[in-house]
Amino acid sequence: MTVNAAPALETGTHGEEILMPAPRWLGYLDTVAIAILNISLIAQVLLIFSSTVLRSYTNSPMIVGAAETAHPFLVTISFLGGAVSYSRGNFVAITFLSDRMPLWLRPFLAALVEWTVILVTALVGYYSIPLVISNVEETTIVLGISYVWMTVPITLGCGLFILHAAVRLSRLPVPAIIAAAFIPALAVALFLLSQDALGQNVHALYVTLAGMFLLQLILGIPIGFILATTGIVCVLSSQSADMVAVVMNAQRGSDGFILLALPFFIFAGFIMDRADIGSRIVNLIVALIGHVRGGLLQVMVVGCYLGSCISGSKAADMAMIGIPMSKQLEEEGYPAPERAAVLAAAAAMSESVPPSIALILIGSATGISTGALFIAGVLPAATLAIFQMLLIRVRASMFGWKPRPRAPMSRVISTGRSAFFPLLLPVILIGGIVGGLGTPTEVSTFAVLYGLLLGLLYRKFTPASLWQTMTNASMLNGMVFFTVSMATVFSWALTLEGVTASLADFVSHFGPTGFLLSVIVIFVLVGAVLESFVTIIILAPLLMPVAMSLHVDPLHYGIVMAEAFGIGVVLPPIGIALYVACKITGARVEPTSRILLWYLSVLVIGLLVLVAFPSITTILPSLFNVKG
């Protein structure tokens, strides 16, 4: 699962004037871009679904040709979708420190963000042009798709990024624009003067890269652009490659048939949310366990687990369950910080529940079977959920939270009927993968179409609402895939410099258990600063050979990693999902953080239990004879 951070326009880093709508001409360009993204999204779903059905019944090789359409589609999402998503403030940035800076300084920080965006996208867009020219005569094998379509979206998307950043700059105070321009100009000048020296002094280069990364993080630069600038400086300093190679790696970051599952499951999550699936699931769980001590908080934990079986997006899961539950919890007298802490911890717990975006990316980055990861993640997440529910039971006794009366059987039956079709989806998804009916990518198309069918059955969709649902999915997909592309550049740059090899060599001396404990520490800390999908792209493939050399089961490695990500993403004070939970429940961050530490403590205990007993992870894959 992944978090869509609160829009940057609401964080306070940007001036109020940025809230003004885009000029009409730019709005037209965005409308065209959104139409391309939405139409290509639904077309891709239908293409993969139909090719899967044809292969199952006619042994048609159409799926091979369909797979060739994945790359241009994903590159379009990454750059064209990324540009529109950025214009709407959907990019992830750590604003914990920048939000606390004086008001007079914030226009300067806003201008610095826009200058960074312009500089990075101008570089990438300019050096994508030689790649376009070199790809003119190259085509794919089956469908004959020109490789130009793998690169043109990069050029166009970068152009749209520049236009939006320039418009946002123009709405800031002139002194802030001029003052902020000196920072990147000075940085570029210093880099050009010291480029040779950095290339010859590895330690100085490492210090420079670390300083750049931390400074941009503090200033509230979006994560994707921090990764891009750091990666570009690393490559150009060492002179191990040129900017065209940087663009090629950004392009490579959004390649792969398995990655198609990611936008499809995100789309399915938005569909389920629009179809009001969460309320049906919540009502059933309330009827079943609402009468136990701390029952409604227990409902939130179970609801997040089951909701995660339907949607791959963390934000969608939290909204799907948190919004209908928050009002009920408030009426029963549960304090807002407690509600937010339980919701955030439940989101962390459910990181390994299929169809998790984290598991999809781990499979893509490491070569571990995504289907096997899906099956392996079921029991570990349930184990962490049990630990969380035990703590809720203890706290309910401590604070005197009274349980609800037991629901009559008629209520259980009626809510069970209402939730039957939504809860049938995870059974079909896992069954399809275990039964060999399709890969996670192919099965994800069924999730989209099944969700649309439920939405129509429940009369939740109109043409306008469906288009808006597709737009919301395209915006989140754009942010995710652009950041993944830049994370690929960053990871590639560090690999060229040998940084990743040094880290792998360091943790390989700890033994199997020590290695997994180091994985937990690394990914909890890094996950608190970066999005989970960024950390996966950078570190998961790096540590995979170490896990294999220490005879750590790859499925066990992947699941421990995913759950560590989950804890990191809600870790106070900068965990992004913590702020999402507070926004949903109306809680303040400071008191929520204090309570959340109790829940995170039991999740860490549960994670240590998983490390000590690998069979919790491997028993279901072994039972179904699914190998990682």
Those residues whose C-beta lies under 8 Å from the C-beta of residue 623, and which sit 6 or more positions away, are: none
Q: What mean pLDDT is predicted for residues 177-186?
A: 91
Which residues are 139's β-sheet partners? 146
CA distance 583 to 503: 37
Q: What mean pLDDT is predicted for residues 507-518?
A: 89
CA distance 568 to 392: 21
pLDDT score, position 6: 33
pLDDT of 105 over the 50 cut: yes
pLDDT score, position 569: 86
SS3 146: strand
pLDDT of 617 over the 50 cut: yes
347-379 pLDDT tens trace: 999 999 988 888 988 998 888 998 899 999 999
Element (H, E) at 180: helix 174-200
pLDDT of 10 over the 60 cut: no
CA distance 356 to 176: 42
pLDDT of 16 over the 70 cut: no
pLDDT score, position 14: 39
Answer whether 375's CB lies under 8 Å from 354's CB. yes
Answer whether 461's CB lies under 8 Å from 452's CB. yes
Tokens coding 369 = 């079977």
- Whole-angstrom Cα Rg for the chain: 24
Answer whether 213's CB lies under 8 Å from 456's CB. no
383-442 pLDDT tens trace: 999 999 999 999 998 888 877 888 899 999 999 999 999 888 888 888 887 777 778 888
SS3 342: helix
Mean pLDDT is highest, among 32-46, 188-202, 395-409, for 32-46
Q: What dihedral angle (degrees, nearest 10) is formed by the CA atoms of 619, 623, 624, 627?
A: 50
pLDDT of 196 over the 90 cut: no
pLDDT of 170 over the 60 cut: yes
CA distance 192 to 394: 60
pLDDT score, position 312: 62
Which residues are 85's β-sheet partners? none
- DSSP assigned state of 354: S
Tokens coding 182 = 């000196």
pLDDT of 95 over the 80 cut: no
pLDDT of 498 over the 80 cut: no
Answer whether 380's CB lies under 8 Å from 609's CB. no
Give per-residue burial for 169-200: e unless 16+ CB within 10 Å, then b: bebbeeebbeebbebbeebeeebeeeeeebee
The CA-atom distances, in angstroms, between 547 and each of 188, 429, 508, 514, 554 are: 40, 29, 8, 11, 7
